[in-house]
């Protein structure tokens, strides 16, 4: 992302807003994530409520809404949130945008969702907030709700970022008290620059 970025910087909406306005969004694939598109082909929605954390430009949020899910997309950067709301309205999709900090969700959305989607958000927050992230996801999921997470990047340290790296051991240590791991895999459909650098994990709330 260029320049010296501190963990405190990434907790500020203005930091991300400046990147979106400057078009410095290297994490954005320009369309839905191929891995998640493949997952949707086998898991069409029937009105289940999904929360997409750190939705950004909303490619994946739109894909889930088009696949039959009732989507709530969350991002505290104003520009992508506004643009996503406009796109969803124009497409007449069941997609609501919440332009708030994801850590505010439990206050009004406790046990509200059947599924939470995580991709490139866990690695973008201050690493010191990772336990708070787990607590937030646990709070907003219904009983036996699921977390679908494509964790990235799996090949670098947590103190270098964003994106701040992580490991399988850390994932298990942080989530195991609240979730049962249903499945995990190194996806074959990763974009070339992320191949073997991301891990797809499906978890169920205990």
* Segment 161-170, tens digit of pLDDT: 899 999 999 9
What domain count does the chain have?
1
Angle at 158 between CA 71 and CA 58, to 5 degrees: 20
Say if 21 falls within a structural domain.
no
The answer to whether residues 43 and 64 touch, using CB atoms and an 8 Å cutoff, is no
Say if 2 falls within a structural domain.
no
pLDDT, position 75: 98
Give 193's Cβ-side CA count (13 Å radius): 5
pLDDT, position 1: 44
| Host domain of residue 44 | 9-14+32-205
From residue 177, how far is each of 24, 39, 82, 145, 206 by CA, in Å? 37, 26, 36, 15, 8
Say if 22 falls within a structural domain.
no
Mean pLDDT of the chain: 95
148 has pLDDT over 60: yes
Domain CATH code at residue 53? 3.40.50.150
The helix-helix angle for 168-175 and 130-140 (nearest 10°) equals: 50
80 has pLDDT over 70: yes
In which order are the strands placed within the sheet that holds 70-74?
95-98, 70-74, 49-53, 113-119, 141-151, 199-205, 179-185
48 has pLDDT over 50: yes
Closest CA to 203 of 153, 158, 155, 141: 141
Instruction: Give alpha helix (H) positions in 95-167.
Output: 105-109, 130-140
pLDDT, position 2: 45
Q: Which residues pair with 113 in a beta bridge?
A: 141
Say if 20 falls within a structural domain.
no
| More confident position, 202 or 157 | 202
Say if 1 falls within a structural domain.
no
Q: Is the peptide bond before 163 cis (omega within 30 degrees of 0)?
A: yes
Say if 25 falls within a structural domain.
no
Q: What is the largest CA-CA distance in the chain?
A: 45
**3 — pLDDT class (breaks 50, 70, 90):** low
Say if 24 falls within a structural domain.
no
Say if 67 falls within a structural domain.
yes
From residue 145, how far is each of 34, 110, 113 by CA, in Å? 23, 12, 7
């Amino acid at each position: 992302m260029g320049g010296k970025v501190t963990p405190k910087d990434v907790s500020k909406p203005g930091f991300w807003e400046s990147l979106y306005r400057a078009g410095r969004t290297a994490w954005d694939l320009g369309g839905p994530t191929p891995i998640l598109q493949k997952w949707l082909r086998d898991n069409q929605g029937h009105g289940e409520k999904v929360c997409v954390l750190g939705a950004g430009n909303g490619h994946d949020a739109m894909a889930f809404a088009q696949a039959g899910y009732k989507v709530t997309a969350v991002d505290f950067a104003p520009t992508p949130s506004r643009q996503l709301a406009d796109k969803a309205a124009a497409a007449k999709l069941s997609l609501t945008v919440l332009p708030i900090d994801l850590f505010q969700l439990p206050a009004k959305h406790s046990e509200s969702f059947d599924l939470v989607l995580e991709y490139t958000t866990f690695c973008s927050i201050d690493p010191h907030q990772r336990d708070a992230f787990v607590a937030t996801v646990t709070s907003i999921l219904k009983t036996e709700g699921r977390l679908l997470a494509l964790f990235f990047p799996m090949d670098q340290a947590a103190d270098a970022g964003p994106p701040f790296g992580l490991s399988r051991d850390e994932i298990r240590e942080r989530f195991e008290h609240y979730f049962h791991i249903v499945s995990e895999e190194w996806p074959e459909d990763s974009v070339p620059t992320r191949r073997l650098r991301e891990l797809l994990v499906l978890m169920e709330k205990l």
